[in-house]
Amino acid sequence: MKLYARLFLSHLLVIVIAMGTLLLFSELLASAFIREHVEQMVAVIGPDGANLRADLEHGMRGTLTSALLAAIPFAVLIAAVTALLSARRVVRSVALLRDGSHAIAAGEYRRRLPEDGQDELGDLARHFNRMAGTLERVEQGRVELITNVAHELRTPVAALRGFAEALKDGVMPRERAADAILREMRTMERLANDLSLVSRVEAGAVELHPRNFPATELVMAGIERFKDAYEERDVRLEWTVPSGVPDVTADFERALQVLTNLLSNALRHTPSGGRVTLSVQGDRDDVAFTVRDTGSGIPSEHLERIFERFYRVDPARTRGEGSGVGLTIARGLVERMGGTIRVDSSSSGSVFTFTLPSAHG
């Protein structure tokens, strides 16, 4: 039996039981009220009223019963219409939810339900729409991830094919072809490692080993790692750590990974003769590390998406120089260690700042 019929019949059953109960209790309780009223009438009529007591009581009881029986069909009709409308609304909401669920199961994540009413049915529609929105975003992220990974792999795979064919045809020396193939393989390996890390970061599955260390230790490790690269590009790398900066509580290797990512990005986007400045400020709550470059900056419309996976401000210029998930990993690691990361930019360069908890906080 359909839900609509079951709801309607259940409403009718409740109505019938209610009407039967009303009729039964009316008959049981009416005697006392009728008798009291008859006695009042007898007292008003006088001695002759005593002979009319039985007739009055019988007449009033019959009138009450007839009135109740006459009212029952109208009450049932009105109640049936009310039950019909109530059941129709419930069934309509359930039908919309059923159709929406089928659409979601079929991959139509754009499906939404009308959010009518402030009751449980309205709440159900709103929760369904939030669920659908979340699934839609997840699906969009999945499609974008597959598209971006395919795009990232296309370049090294094409290069590997070209080197292999050149090696096969004998137009490239074996050592040169081997070096080129190894270079492309390292690119693919770096992409695979970055994808694995970003997935673990976003899932909160990265294992951290926090300890207390001076901010200078982190700064010097980053400077040492990039000193030669900056000299080769003729970009000046400056740093400053004022006295009194408190120690940091974080995973040193992960914090260094964040810092090197920012220093690498700054070097990549700073022209020859430019300058990158690494500075540190701290208080009792946290320590802030700021990387400022003198590059072309990031247009304001890109700032909100700069930490998204594979998002590139200039895909044509940066393609092949990174996996496109470095800033995503940096944000995830910083947040996992209890800090924050942000970016500010203008035509005179970009400023990335991340914070880590202070050891004295």
Cα–Cα distance measured from residue 173 to residue 177, given in angstroms and rounded to the nearest whole number: 6
The whole-number pLDDT of residue 235 equals: 95
Q: Which two tokens stand for residue 196?
A: 């694995």
* pLDDT tens digits, 156-215: 888 888 888 888 888 888 888 888 888 888 888 878 887 888 888 877 888 899 999 999
Q: Is the pLDDT higher at 34 or at 325?
A: 325
Sequence-distant (6+) residues with CB within 8 A of 139 are 107, 109
The whole-number pLDDT of residue 317 equals: 44
Residue 80's pLDDT band, with cuts at 50, 70 and 90, is confident
**Residue 91: alpha-carbon gap to chain centroid:** 30
Output the CA torsion sign for 216, 218, 221, 222: negative
Residue 203 DSSP one-character state: T
- % of the chain beyond a pLDDT of 70: 80
Burial 252-284 (b: 16+ CB within 10 A, else e): bebbbbbbbbbbbbbbbbbeeebbbbbbbbbee
CATH class label, 124-202: mainly alpha
β-pairing verdict for 275-282 and 236-240 = parallel
Cα–Cα distance measured from residue 218 to residue 259, given in angstroms and rounded to the nearest whole number: 8
Q: Which two tokens stand for residue 219?
A: 């700064």
Is this prediction's pTM over 0.85? no
Q: Which of 122-126, 245-249, 353-357 has the lowest mean pLDDT?
A: 122-126
Region 326-352 average pLDDT: 90
- Could you tell me the end-to-end alpha-carbon distance of the chain, in angstroms, rounded to an integer? 65
Cα–Cα distance measured from residue 313 to residue 178, given in angstroms and rounded to the nearest whole number: 33
CB atoms within 10 A of CB 116: 13
Cα–Cα distance measured from residue 79 to residue 27, given in angstroms and rounded to the nearest whole number: 22
- CATH code assigned to 211-357: 3.30.565.10
- Does residue 344 contact residue 297 with C-beta atoms inside 8 Å? no
- Plot region of 54 (φ>0 → left; ψ -120 to 50 → alpha; else → beta): alpha
Burial 172-185 (b: 16+ CB within 10 A, else e): beeeebeebbeebe
- Position 58 pLDDT exceeds 70: no
Cα–Cα distance measured from residue 309 to residue 327, given in angstroms and rounded to the nearest whole number: 8
- Plot region of 229 (φ>0 → left; ψ -120 to 50 → alpha; else → beta): alpha
* pLDDT tens digits, 90-126: 777 778 888 888 888 888 888 888 877 677 777 888 8
Region 136-149 average pLDDT: 77
